[in-house]
Structure 1
Amino acid sequence: MSTTYHARYAHLPDGLARDVRITVDHGRITDVTTGLELQRGDHALPGVVLPGLANAHSHAFHRALRGRTHADGGTFWTWREAMYAVSARLDPISYLTLARAAYAEMALAGVTAVGEFHYLHHGPGGARYVDPNTMGHALVQAAADAGIRLTLLDTCYLAGGLGADGYADLEGPQLRFGDGDAQTWALRVDDLQDHLTGGPAHLRVGGAIHSVRAVPRDQLGVVADAVRARPRPQTRFGAGDVHTGPVPLVPPHGVNRSGTPLHVHLSEQPAENEAALAAHGLTPTGLLEAEGVLGPDLTAVHATHLTGEDVALLGGHRSWACFCPTTERDLADGIGPAVALRDAGARLSLGSDQHAVVDLIEEARALEMHERLASLERGRLAPSELLDAATAHESIGWPDAGRIEVGARADLVAVRDDSVRTAGADPAQLLLAASAADVDTVVVDGRVVVEAGRHRLGDVGRLLHEAITPLWKDT
């Protein structure tokens, strides 16, 4: 049975339109007609309707850090110690509880799909669960409960750091992140099935290199090749996590036969660049190029401290650059070269990363505002470009989402235009005025997840409180 929605204003691929009727059937948009007034039987959507927003970079468990890392100032590296402390306290049940609440908060903000940069894989001290993907399955269930799609960017994390003398071993809480080597990591990820291989309809399995600090040089290409070989025949782990099947053939460097997303933290801190130059004589971007990792399937997260040559390499490969402005300013990372990357040919996406703020509208606005601060010029990125970055589902493996057009996934976000923030704003410029608090209705794959500003799970603030408070009870 089809459902028809009516929007007074909607952002379509060719621009803003008035009086738009959107017909949805089996989770897909089957008709889009403009210039028609509200008719009996239509479901009226208030304000301005956007395509679903894509949160391309998330660490769900970081949500527990909000409001707890500022007392002594500190640096990115002291913040990281607090992050490790939280990671050490989580088990599969508390991870599910926290991620469910975090994803519900995203849904309230208009996010219809999230790319989860997942490296909290194993038990304390690195102990293996009976199912080595238990923590990943908790994230999959959390997204299903919250009503959004998940791209599980299972992350290879092998080393504790990089210096001029080489790579450090994992230690302490980091032991939960590691699989020993990239081949073992790939075999574990092989056991995850997504909507392309008979798994959950809301799941896409991708991969990630944590950073050039955490994955040794000789393992970078192994990770990229493994990701680019998906989907492939599934190989199950048996008792004791023993892999008994053949190792599948992989395509050459830079060739992605599956469209599987590949992500990497890149040049977030100057110290990362200094370490790569000292150890390898290359910037992190240059190192990825040398090892065949760069490509149009790659999303470089943060991309803050790039040289002109780095920008040219990412642009030449048509790679994605995922900016997380609220995190980058919270951690004093700096302002990345968004416009320079765009002009070089790279594509832009957005994430909320550590969730100091969960508001993709704010992330989009900050992309332009940070550019204004850095350049002393306005209008560096047009409102339409900000919307493109906020709806870049392709960067997390959902190329059929992020547009209101026939055949696309039925993801709709109605943003009120009559709030104290948005009243009087031009609907074409709503992203420069609104916030997540103005999101009224969210439809994901044709299902209503948020209505009148309320999530189907109920009080999300309460869910967050109940998930986070126990993690800090002994501090």
Structure 2
Amino acid sequence: MTTFHCAVLVRAGSVTERVRIETDQSGTIVKIVTGVEAGPGDVRLATVVPGFATAHSHAFHRLLRGTTHADGGDFWKWREAMYGVAALLDPPLMFLVARAVFAEMLVSGYTAVGEFHYLHHRVDGAAYPAAHAMEIATGEAARAVGIRLVLLDTCYLDGAIGAPLSPQQRRFGDGSAAGWLARWHSLRDVIEGDRVTLGAAIHSVRAVSPAAMAELRDGLGTGTPLHIHVSEQPQENADCIAAYGHTPVGVLASLGMLGPRLSLVHATHLTAADRTLVGASGCTVVMCPTTEADLGDGIGDALGLAAAGARIAIGSDQNAVIDPLLELRGLEAGERLSSGRRGRFSPADLLDAGTGAGYASLGISSTVLAPGDPCDLVELDRASLRTLGSALDQLLFTATASDVRKVIVGGRIVAESGRLTAGAARPEVLLAEALDAVAAA
């Protein structure tokens, strides 16, 4: 059992002083007491927030950081560069890349990641001799650094609506919905354990037909978190309407798939009717502001979706930026740029988007730092050049990943001052190793 004493604990809507958090051997919270002094055996922390979640990540996209930003074009041009990187990866390289990215996430304050994973097979589409080799490599990378991972194993069947997979996409596919379901069900026993769990994803309406979606809907367990890219690009909407007579949200609604367990990623180009459907259903919308800005996707109506009833979470997506605090400020900045007004999301709403909403989207916990929840914490520096003078509830508007002091996952300190505690490794060393290995591939 480990006990943490927080001089200040900032949660969505509350700031509490002198908080003692007791955990059991599994790192689960068993008791929280407020207004008490630290005991002799307590791990003493200063200003603490709940652990952040990136509810949408493609770890291998990190390899493109700093190499595509000046190329011009749009999302579709960037995608071609992404396919080129995807073709280089095998299980040993996947482990090195994911380990480096997950390490960077940890020291930046992310305690949980939803990895939207579709690099399932060899480049030619053939299965690896060792079953689930790429998935196991990703899970082992998370365990190596200590981050909480929900592997969102992704169904990807078509290259576009009504079109087969291209040669660049063959490794993503499983042939059919039944083929994906068989592989997904067999994956759980070999991937889960030690802070790694299995979720599910449908890549998009471009990659999975409505008939196949219905098969997936019926073949997945009701408690499994399910994610899908939706309306990231206007072309996706136009193609979907031409093929099916509905927007992507309309297709999901017609299949009865909208609901609290479903997370819609991006949702940048929704119609007013889409927003009403999403809000009424209780879906989570995972916004990825730094990626949506970098790729020129557009600015989604986050505040409108929240007002309609959707819960908003954040994702780091292509990982061109790994910083939950900048991601949250990007969410608010988009609203300010769209509206011409400040203070669109409250600090409490932003903190929930970065913490509780992401954890709920990934099926980790439905509450935040309550008994029975995982003890995932981030200590922030209130006295840095960036944060000095900030009101406690407004640290989100001034702090960055550079102000993350300690990171606790499952009641264990896993990172401190930019360094992993396991082996005292620095993420940049792990990243250099991964980049060198990929360059040599």
Q: Which residue of 425, 433, 436 corresponds with 2:390?
A: 425
Deviation at 1:198, TM superposition (A): 9.4
Counterpart among 305, 310, 315 of residue 346 in structure 1: 310
Determine the structure 2 residue equivalent to 1:466: 433
Separation in structure 2 between the aligned mates of residue 132 and residue 350 of structure 1, nearest angstrom: 32
Q: What are the equivalent positions in structure 2 for 1:52-451 lying under 5 Å apart?
A: 52-162=51-161, 167-193=162-188, 199-227=192-220, 229=221, 256=222, 259-391=223-355, 392=357, 393-399=359-365, 403-451=368-416
CA drift of 1:452 comes to 3.3
> Is the partner of 1:126 in helix, strand or coil?
coil
Specify which of 417, 425, 429 is matched with residue 452 of structure 1: 417
Pair 1:225–1:31, CA change in 2 (3 A): same
Task: Give the 3-state SS of the residue equivalent to 2:187 in structure 1.
Answer: coil
8 Å contact kept, 2:135–2:191: no
Contact kept, 8 Å, 1:132 with 1:188, in 2: the verdict is no
Is 1:20 matched up with 2:15?
no
Amino acid at match of 1:191: S
- CA-CA distance at 1:18 after TM superposition: 1.3
Deviation at 1:204, TM superposition (A): 1.6
Answer yes or no: is the 8 Å Cα contact 2:12–2:347 preserved in 1: no
Q: In the alignment, which residue of structure 2 is the partner of 1:236?
A: none
Gaps (5+ residues) in structure 2?
Answer: none
The secondary structure found in structure 2 opposite 1:70 is coil
Asked whether the equivalents of residues 122 and 132 of structure 1 are also in contact (C-alpha less than 8 Å), the reply is: no
TM-score w.r.t. the length of structure 2 is 0.95
Q: Secondary structure at the match of 1:41?
A: coil
1:201 Cα offset (Å): 3.1
CA shift, 1:226, in A, is 2.1
Q: 2:32 is aligned with what amino acid?
A: V
Q: Distance in 2 between matches of 1:73 and 1:470?
A: 28
Aligned to 1:248: none
Separation in structure 2 between the aligned mates of residue 415 and residue 313 of structure 1, nearest angstrom:
38
Q: 1:361, 1:431 within 8 Å by CA — same for their partners in 2? A: yes
Name the amino acid aligned to 1:209: I
Following superposition, the deviation at residue 22 of structure 1 comes to: 1.8
Paired AA for residue 3 in structure 2: T
TM-fit CA distance, 1:441: 0.5
Whole-Å separation in 1 of the counterparts to 2:266 and 2:109:
22
CA distance in 1, matches of 2:341, 2:12: 27
Deviates further, 100-109 or 283-292: 283-292
- The CA deviation at 1:173 is 1.9
Alpha-carbon distance in structure 2 between the residues aligned to 1:132 and 1:310 = 39
Q: Is the 8 A contact 1:11 1:404 kept in 2?
A: no
Contact 1:211–1:266 (CA<8 Å) still a contact in 2?
A: yes
Distance of 1:12 and 1:351 partners within structure 2: 20
Maintained 8 Å contact 2:149/2:195: yes
Q: Deviations over 1:245-270 (max 9, x none)?
A: xxxxxxxxxxx2xx210000000000
Matched AA of 1:300: L
Any gaps of 5 or more consecutive residues in structure 1? 230-255
What's 1:41 paired with? 41
Q: Please tell me whether the aligned partners of residues 12 and 405 of structure 1 are also in contact (alpha carbons under 8 angstroms).
A: no
Aligned residues: 436
1:469 CA drift (Å): 3.4
- Report deviation, 1:473: 5.3
Distance 1:102 1:58 in 2: 10
2: distance between equivalents of 1:174 and 1:293?
Answer: 26
Secondary structure of the 1:406 match is coil
Name the SS of the counterpart of 1:191 in structure 2: helix
Change (3 A) 1:198 1:168: closer
Distance 1:224 1:349 in 2: 23
Structure 1 letter corresponding to 2:429:
R
Query: 1 CA distance for matches of 2:408 and 2:194?
Result: 16
Using the alignment, how far apart are the partners of 2:296 and 2:70 within structure 1? 15
Give CA-to-partner distance per residue, 1:299-350, whole Å, 9 cap, x none. Answer: 0000000000000111111001000000000000011111111111111111
* Overall identity of the aligned pairs, in %: 49
SS in 2 for 1:397: coil
The letter of the residue matching 2:436 is: T
The DSSP-based 3-state class of the residue aligned with 1:193 is helix
Match for residue 234 of structure 1? Answer: none
Shift of 1:37: 3.4
C-alpha displacement of 1:83: 0.4
